[in-house]
Structure 1
Amino acid sequence: MKKQFLTALFLATSLAVFAQSKKPISKPLVSHIYTADPSAHVFNGKIYIYPSHDIESGVPQDDEGGHFDMKDYHILSMDKIGGKVTDHGVALDIKNIPWAGRQLWAPDAAFKNGTYYLYFPVKDKKDVFRMGVATSKSPVGPFKAEKEPIKGSFSIDPSVFKDTDGNFYMYFGGIWGGQLQRWKTGSYDPKGKLQNDNQPALAPKIAKLSKDMLSFAEEAKDVKILDKNGKVLLAGDNSKRFFEASWVHKYKGKYYFSYSTGDTHLINYATGNNPYGPFTYQGVVLNPVEGWTNHHSIVEVEGKWYLFYHDVQLSGKTHLRNVKVTELKHNSDGSIQTITAYK
């Protein structure tokens, strides 16, 4: 894994040098704080963004992402794309999550029956990532966390998708520092390793949410990502296989599962006919951005589609990122036009 990390770090550095020589197509939405991993939603006609809040915590950079040591969440909003962005302050602090240990990573949100739900990964007091949920009557909080993590949850990057039939599903998982490889047997193994290159890639997970939105209605299942020949992607195909950052949107009856490839820094997408998949790999949504990570969301606003993403334009540092937005376009056949974040 160390060799993989060093190779990826070299690639990321090269990409950053390339990116800095180009002009970004979008500006950071806010510059007074560092933000990343933007999960965007339209609630009651207004755009709300639920990002990570990057800080300089003094933790040395490591292969497990220990330097991404976030302590709270700030929620952003705007009335329209390109409009004024409001930071609504701290919506949830790690100090107010009874079971939390450290590292609040990428969150997501949902709305049902007058209540807003904030879903988040954080390491428990045994340093194991679990999924938590907090509630509020306001989309911007403050949110009150449940006393325990969601039973049966693990790893990182919760993404909650509301289908047209009203059912909600959580997609989650991330390899390397996201600990997904430690759950291969169904229970936590601190020594769990990544797949060999010739083995099927580790799959992201899906679980239908219960009616109260506070628990899983079923045991988490694998989300299979296939190549055009119907074969599961292999771990060695790291320009296509899943790494982290699940997101699902629905377009003209098709389900689009998009995700980050991590060490190759792409946002890819695959399509399927139901929320459980399988999903067939189709191509690249977003080419590599400046910085090591790539994490996104895709949302429709007033008939147009937009990609929310991040890079490190403001700081130049991997762990101090800034969220951005740009228009995303589907072709007439449903395919997505690949976006390059620099001119």
Structure 2
Amino acid sequence: MSSEPLVTHIFTADPSAHVFNGRIYVYPSHDIATPIQDNDNGDQYAMTDYHVLSMDAVGSPVTDHGVVLSLEDVPWAGKQLWAPDAAEKNGKFYLFFPARDTEGVFRIGVAVGDKPEGPFKPEEKPIEGSYSIDPASFVDEDGEAYLYFGGIWGGQLQCWTTGKFDKEAYTNMEAQSGPALLPRVAKLSSDMLSFTSPPTELEILDPVTKKPLDSSDHDRRFFEAAWMHKYNGKYYFSYSTGDTHYLAYAVGDSPVGPFTYGGKILEPVQGWTTHHSIVEHDGRWWLFHHDTSMSGKNHLRCVKVREIFYDKEGKIVLTPE
């Protein structure tokens, strides 16, 4: 079973967990109360800042380091600081975050800090060539860094099928048949502030047919909440299926794919959204995720954590063999 909420004094969601200097740091969204009614556009998720949480180990006291970045600090952003992530490289710490620009289009920004708990100073403009939501950073063992992102419906990924933002595609949400919309990946520059080339699609294949998952396959297709981790030399790309509320994963031999669907990690939890991260600490693997058990409202969530395991074939399981 999942734990009690990591913290209860604020509402938190979309936890991105990392181990820096032996300590677990969690970079969540900071949910706030709003009178806006739930809608597919996601307007009710009106977050305006980020906190950083940290702990010596799962189960130990959690420190809230307070606000490390606010909407008003970001020159290009108009509203909605959604799910962030962080990375360490070059002795610096990088906070990647999505926000709507002043025209209502989601972009991805980056802010830089000297410590994992921030504070973070944002760049003046979003990352050139970035779009949509849910950035997830991954620094491989060879030092190469990648950014994964994308989210359909309110996350606007369906608006970018031509490479340019198509506002007319916004209300379509997603196609009812044909290949599913795919997450994006881009290699990051050595300074972590830009893409070295335009983002490409991250292919997710059916394990039997070896063909891309179909957009009608809502139990398995990508919706949002990208995450990447590595286990036993394999790359594990995990994500949310959105409207069916599963956390699922796919496995590949390269950080840029292709990936083969591997199964579900977590069944639906209380609340509409599900978003997670996976991290190893002291030889044990942990799944950080969220639900709405603290509020009963979709936009007021709480972060939780539970241990995960791998079977002999490398599949992710919730109970050890």
The two structures share one fold, judged by TM-score above 0.5: yes
**Would you say 1:126 and 2:103 are equivalent positions?**
yes
User: Which SS does the other structure have where 2:65 is aligned?
Assistant: strand
- Contact kept? 1:287, 1:338, Cα under 8 Å: no
Distance in 2, Cα, partners of 1:309 & 1:58? 25
- C-alpha offsets along residues 148-167 of structure 1, whole Å, 9 cap, x if unaligned? 00000000000001111111
1:158-307 alignment to 2 at 5 Å? 158-192=135-169, 193-228=172-207, 229-307=209-287
| Count of paired positions | 316
1:284 and 1:338 in contact (8 A); partners too? no
1:263, CA displacement in angstroms?
A: 0.1
Say which is worse superposed, 91-100 or 195-204, in terms of deviation. Answer: 195-204
* 3-state DSSP of counterpart to 1:329: strand
Shift of residue 259, structure 1, vs aligned partner: 0.3
Hey, what's the Cα distance between the residues in 2 that align with 1:31 and 1:195?
A: 36
What is the DSSP-based 3-state SS (H/G/I as helix, E as strand, rest coil) of the residue aligned with 2:118? Answer: coil
- CA deviation map 1:132-179 (0-9, x unaligned): 000110111111110000000000000001111111100000000000
Contact map agreement 1:37 1:106 (CA 8 A) in 2: yes
Give ranges in structure 2 of 5+ residues lacking alignment.
Answer: none
Kept after mapping to 2: 8 A contact 1:197/1:237:
no
1:202, 1:242 within 8 Å by CA — same for their partners in 2? yes
Counterpart for residue 69 of structure 2: 92
Deviation at 1:292, TM superposition (A): 0.3
**1: CA distance between counterparts of 2:232 and 2:251?**
12
Residues 19-39 of structure 1 deviation map (CA, whole Å, 9 limit, x = unaligned): xxxxx5311000000000000
Q: Give 2:258's aligned amino acid.
A: P
In structure 2, C-alpha distance between the alignment counterparts of 1:194 and 1:60, rounded to whole Å: 19
Q: With structure 2 as the length reference, what TM-score do the two structures score? A: 0.97
Instruction: Structure 1 unaligned segments of length 5 or more: list them.
Output: 1-23
Distance 2:74 2:175 in 1: 37
Separation of aligned partners in 2, 1:164 and 1:178: 30
Q: 1:104 & 1:215 partners in 2: Cα distance? A: 19
* CA-atom RMSD in angstroms: 0.9
1:79 is aligned to 2:56? yes
Give yes or no for contact 2:307–2:318 (8 Å, CA) kept in 1. no
Alpha-carbon shift at residue 198 of structure 1 (Å): 2.1
SS state at 2:317 partner: coil
Separation of aligned partners in 2, 1:325 and 1:264: 21
1:139 corresponds to:
116
Contact 1:77-1:85 at 8 Å conserved across structures: yes
- Which deviates more from structure 2 when the two are superposed, residues 190-199 or residues 71-80? 190-199
Matched residue type, 1:326: R
Q: TM-score, structure 1 length as denominator?
A: 0.91
Q: Percent identity?
A: 58
SS of alignment partner, residue 158 of structure 2: helix
1:6 corresponds to:
none
Give the secondary structure class of the aligned counterpart of 2:159.
Answer: helix
Distance (Å, rounded) in 1 between the aligned partners of 2:8 and 2:261: 35
Distance, in Å, in 2 between the alignment partners of 1:139 and 1:195 is 37
Partner Cα distance (2:196, 2:311) in 1: 36
Q: What are the Cα deviations for residues 33-75 of structure 1, in whole angstroms up to 9, with x where unaligned? A: 0000000000010000000000012222211110000000000
Contact preservation (8 Å) 1:204, 1:222: yes
Displacement of 1:276:
0.7
1:98–1:147 CA contact under 8 A, matched in 2? yes
After superposition, the Cα gap between the structure-2 partners of 1:303 and 1:338, relative to the gap in structure 1 and judged at 3 Å, is closer
Q: Which of the numbers 8, 20, 25 marks the counterpart of 1:43?
A: 20
Q: CA deviation at 1:195?
A: 4.0
What is the distance in 2 between the residues matched to 1:240 and 1:134? 33
2:87 corresponds to: 110
Deviation track 1:91-150 (CA, whole Å, cap 9, x = no partner) reads 000000001100000000001121110000000000000000001101111111100000
C-alpha separation in 2, matches of 1:114 and 1:253: 25
Aligned CA distance change for structure 1 residues 338 and 240 (closer, same or farther; 3 Å): farther
